[in-house]
Amino acid sequence: MKTIITYGTFDLFHVGHVRLLQRLKRLGDRLVIGLSTDEFNTQKGKTVVIPYADRKEVLLSCKYVDDVFPEENWEQKRQDIQRENADIFAIGDDWIGKFDDLNDIVDVLYLPRTQDISTTDIKAVMSQIEEDKKKEIKNLFSHLSSLVTKL
């Protein structure tokens, strides 16, 4: 049995995540995911929208995923790989070279990300919509205030 291990936050689960998990599962028989906890994401300077328990539930409901465990720090990967008896450690190519030190215990693969979609992009769009709504509300209040003054 060939085990694949990967790590991530998987916030705002989208088609890019699905395609990554599908590609990972094709590499072996068993796919396990180290899911970054909310606390670890805070340490990394990331803000998550969906809490850990919900992100874990979403991942476990995906037909490509066999197991999910908490990722609580950068240093745990070596122990996780050994515990899970992983054959391949795979992660997005935005991390190229960062995990080459694990090549002594596992095959390290960097996979291309899905084009034109990322959680960061989705969050940016959501933020812009929020800013536009704030401006709209400010303009409305300014207009109402001006009307009240005229009365």
Report the catalytic residues: 44, 46
Whole-number Å distance between alpha carbons of 32 and 77: 12
Give the tokens for residue 62: 């995906």
List CB contacts of 89: < 8 A, sequence separation 6 or more: 4, 5, 6, 77, 81, 99, 102, 106, 107, 108, 109
